[in-house]
Structure 1
Amino acid sequence: MFSASVMAGIYIHIPFCRQKCYYCDFYKTVNISLQQNFIEALKNEAKIRKNYLNNETVETIYFGGGTPSVLTAAELADILQVINHEFKVSSGAEITLEANPDDLTPAYLAALKSVGFNRLSIGIQAFQNRHLQQMNRRHSAGQAVDAIINAFNAGISNLSADLIYGLPALSETEWKESLKQVFQLPVKHLSAYHLTYHEGTAFYTWLKKGTLKELKENDSVAQFNLLLDMAIANNFEHYEISNLAKDKLYSRHNTAYWMGTSYLGLGPSAHSFNGASRRWNVSHVETYIKALKNNENYFEEEKLSENDKYNEYILTRIRTKWGISQTEIQQLFGAEKAQHFAQQIAKYKHAQVFKANRQKITLTRKGLFISDEIMADLIII
């Protein structure tokens, strides 16, 4: 809704995991016996929703999860074939697969490249086995290193790694080791997230019981600062709150989200957005499969009000290096919302949490630490 370009993205949610990580609250299931029925339902949904993107060119395809790398390369190719048949996919599209390190064997990597994947997002999370075991990750630190090297050797050079800081008992030395390790590898993109204790996860339950202790806030802040300092020293650009890139190899898919581009979400729990409405699929794979088979409803939808659209702009743009433009707010949403923004932003005039450059307002490092508070002030409730 904020971009005039006719381009779009497709997100495909693969809900299967071989085992559940103790911190993760994304929709997933370990019932991999449902995979074949799921793939048929997914292909059916793609065909049913072929007109959702209004024939806009698809510039990014992103397989998330769950753990998409539990599917074989042939199964992934089958899904891609349907996507390419039903949608207008750019010949230079960014096609990303989220993957677990222990799935990325040389043979599997070669097969992924041959069927069209040109970007991998590898879920490493930590380079210490004790933290990996505590999170119930199914790979070792050594497998994480091997996965990145093997992927690069297979000819997939656009590689992203995920790390988590703020883990229970994660020392500054360990965090520094993890960052040093990732920056030594042929990685062009890093997603670094602070651990969040989501209700319904094992970590949340243990935190409430007192068997798991949250890292002190000062230590988390120090780890975030270390992340940014080491990233700068290794020529990585901090372009979004949790994302850093080298050689401008931003995640094109996620950047399109933040810039207001339309996207189609396929699979259970997947979200779709077309500028006027938001739609989300049921978070239950059996219900999803049954509904697609029987032509039943499997989603909910909401129309976006003008306030919703303004809030969407604020919440996504403020996260990025591209920032917020007061002029753009007036053009897109009118003088009243531009005035609201100006009044709210004035509260922070002397707080050094914003910087202005070419009419764009972005968060300073100090502002990043209180970004949630700032967002709450700027949106319209």
Structure 2
Amino acid sequence: MAGIYIHIPFCKKACTYCDFHFSTSLKYTEEMTDAICRELLLKKDRISGQVGSIYLGGGTPSVLTAAQLNRIFDTLTQHFSIASAAEITIETNPDDLNASKLAELKQLPVNRFSIGTQSFFDEDLRWMNRAHNAAEAESSIKRSQDAGFENLSIDLIYGYPILTDQKWEQNISTAIDLGVPHISAYSLTVEPKTALAANIKKGRQIPISDDQSAEQFQTLIRKLALAGFEHYEISNYALPGRYAVHNTNYWRGIPYLGIGPSAHGFDGTNRYHNIANNAIYLEKLDKNQLAESVEELSNLDRLNEYLMTSLRTMWGTDLEKIERDFGKVYREETRFNIKPFLDNHWLNLEENHFRLSPEGKLFADHIASELFLIEEHESIIRSKKQSE
């Protein structure tokens, strides 16, 4: 079943490391809500059948009022067929999840929270310029559970200079003890045009250590495995059967709508990119025009996307699917390209699926980039096809 992603481009504060599209001014939330509802109407015929997942991300969707969120959900339920068991997620910040906000969210069809916890230490949250404190990080989870929201995911970040190994182990232990069924954990990366990148360039901040990130990544895998979590995607861990439906469908290549400024959509063949500019987005939608560009994906593009996303998961990459969807010569080319990584034990091959080994998980992006096929390969493949 298809999915719908809705990007809410507002945050109370700008985190030092974040390069997502957002505004810290909440002045135009009403106009943005109207534009999002209008875009949903304009795109309602792009997906057929039932919708199996809805994800409100950002930004921080929980900054919207109950009335604004209700308008979005009313538009969804009126114009789309939402499956009765659909996973409906909203990203939230701990400081937003007070008793009154939880009561409001309880009236919506939301059944899953993704909470931007990041750390349970005040000094770390200040370093990140987060809007919440350590006490709110923990209490927001407990309040959500008490309010009946049991399907929770929390975000954690590792690999930053002030995160000692001891603090990182305590962050993991706290998350486990709180009983959340899903954890998304990300190694801090330095993105261009962020405050973190500027501070490192000016010498005000210690550069990120790859060795520290690798060690803390391995600690995370070990501790969560002992707690019964499955490492089902490079950055995602879940108790058995508690995988994120929406994100898993991304990795499986299932179509979804992308709504809101900077959102991406995929129809199985083409990718759609909304403009990352609030003013232009609002201006376009006010005229009932879509603020998007279309990327027509070639066979090679789709294969490379499949290689990249499938390799990150515990299910791995299916050689038979490559043959079925792209052709036998693509399967043979991929089988040849994975040989060095089988030889150095970064990949394992079993029943026509190749997967990252524990050591290979440290080099997932590198391995994927080495497996990508380029136009040069395409010409070779065409020659092979012609000779068959």
Question: Residue in 2 aligned with 1:4?
Answer: none
* Alpha-carbon distance between aligned partners in 1 of 2:342 and 2:129, rounded to the nearest angstrom: 45
Q: Is residue 2:110 matched to residue 1:103?
A: no
* Alpha-carbon distance between aligned partners in 1 of 2:269 and 2:212, rounded to the nearest angstrom: 42
Give the conservation status (yes or no) of the 8 Å contact 2:160–2:209: no
Shift of residue 214, structure 1, vs aligned partner: 2.3
Question: Residue in 2 aligned with 1:276?
Answer: 269
* Alpha-carbon distance between aligned partners in 2 of 1:244 and 1:77, rounded to the nearest angstrom: 31
Q: Is residue 2:371 matched to residue 1:378?
A: yes
Whichever residue aligns with residue 78 of structure 2, its letter is H
Question: Residue in 1 aligned with 2:292?
Answer: 299
Secondary structure in 2 matching 1:51: coil
* Alpha-carbon distance between aligned partners in 2 of 1:214 and 1:227, rounded to the nearest angstrom: 22
* Alpha-carbon distance between aligned partners in 2 of 1:368 and 1:89, rounded to the nearest angstrom: 36
Question: Residue in 2 aligned with 1:41?
Answer: 35
Secondary structure in 2 matching 1:286: helix
Question: Residue in 2 aligned with 1:3?
Answer: none
| Pairing 1:21-36 to 2, within 5 Å after superposition | 21-36=15-30
Shift of residue 218, structure 1, vs aligned partner: 2.0
Question: Residue in 2 aligned with 1:127?
Answer: 120
Whichever residue aligns with residue 3 of structure 2, its letter is G
Fraction of identical pairs, as percent: 40
* Alpha-carbon distance between aligned partners in 1 of 2:193 and 2:307, rounded to the nearest angstrom: 29
287-296 or 154-163, which moves further after superposition? 287-296
Deviations 1:261-286 (A, max 9, x none): 00001000000001110001010111
Deviations 1:172-208 (A, max 9, x none): 0010111111110020100000001000100010111
Question: Residue in 1 aligned with 2:304?
Answer: 311
Structure 1 runs of 4+ aligned residues shifted over 4 Å read none
Deviations 1:63-91 (A, max 9, x none): 00001110122321210110111111101
| Pairing 1:29-178 to 2, within 5 Å after superposition | 29-53=23-47, 55-178=48-171
Secondary structure in 1 matching 2:107: helix
Q: Which ranges of structure 2 fall in alignment gaps of 5 or more residues?
A: 375-388
Give the conservation status (yes or no) of the 8 Å contact 1:159–1:186: no
Shift of residue 289, structure 1, vs aligned partner: 0.7
Q: Is residue 2:5 matched to residue 1:17?
A: no
Deviations 1:32-83 (A, max 9, x none): 1101011111100000110011x22100000000011101223212101101
Whichever residue aligns with residue 271 of structure 2, its letter is R
Give the conservation status (yes or no) of the 8 Å contact 2:39–2:290: no
* Alpha-carbon distance between aligned partners in 1 of 2:179 and 2:102, rounded to the nearest angstrom: 15
Whichever residue aligns with residue 285 of structure 1, its letter is N
Matched pairs, number: 374
State which of 245, 249, 254 in structure 2 corresponds to 1:252: 245
* Alpha-carbon distance between aligned partners in 2 of 1:201 and 1:252, rounded to the nearest angstrom: 30
Deviations 1:291-320 (A, max 9, x none): 011234511111111101111110110010
Shift of residue 370, structure 1, vs aligned partner: 1.1
Shift of residue 19, structure 1, vs aligned partner: 1.1
* Alpha-carbon distance between aligned partners in 2 of 1:67 and 1:214, rounded to the nearest angstrom: 28
Q: Is residue 2:320 matched to residue 1:327?
A: yes
Question: Residue in 2 aligned with 1:264?
Answer: 257
Secondary structure in 2 matching 1:47: helix
* Alpha-carbon distance between aligned partners in 1 of 2:157 and 2:116, rounded to the nearest angstrom: 10
* Alpha-carbon distance between aligned partners in 1 of 2:12 and 2:130, rounded to the nearest angstrom: 10
Secondary structure in 1 matching 2:341: coil
* Alpha-carbon distance between aligned partners in 2 of 1:296 and 1:287, rounded to the nearest angstrom: 11
96-105 or 322-331, which moves further after superposition? 322-331
* Alpha-carbon distance between aligned partners in 1 of 2:292 and 2:143, rounded to the nearest angstrom: 39
* Alpha-carbon distance between aligned partners in 2 of 1:204 and 1:226, rounded to the nearest angstrom: 26
* Alpha-carbon distance between aligned partners in 2 of 1:215 and 1:278, rounded to the nearest angstrom: 33
Secondary structure in 1 matching 2:221: helix
Q: Is residue 2:185 matched to residue 1:192?
A: yes
* Alpha-carbon distance between aligned partners in 1 of 2:366 and 2:208, rounded to the nearest angstrom: 21
Give the conservation status (yes or no) of the 8 Å contact 1:273–1:279: yes
Give the conservation status (yes or no) of the 8 Å contact 1:21–1:136: yes
Question: Residue in 1 aligned with 2:226?
Answer: 233
287-296 or 275-284, which moves further after superposition? 287-296
* Alpha-carbon distance between aligned partners in 2 of 1:368 and 1:379, rounded to the nearest angstrom: 17
* Alpha-carbon distance between aligned partners in 2 of 1:9 and 1:296, rounded to the nearest angstrom: 22
* Alpha-carbon distance between aligned partners in 2 of 1:132 and 1:268, rounded to the nearest angstrom: 27
Whichever residue aligns with residue 23 of structure 2, its letter is T
Give the conservation status (yes or no) of the 8 Å contact 2:347–2:356: yes
Give the conservation status (yes or no) of the 8 Å contact 1:148–1:186: no
* Alpha-carbon distance between aligned partners in 1 of 2:355 and 2:229, rounded to the nearest angstrom: 18
* Alpha-carbon distance between aligned partners in 1 of 2:256 and 2:144, rounded to the nearest angstrom: 28
Shift of residue 257, structure 1, vs aligned partner: 0.2
Whichever residue aligns with residue 16 of structure 1, its letter is F
Secondary structure in 1 matching 2:204: coil
Deviations 1:132-157 (A, max 9, x none): 00110010111011000000111110
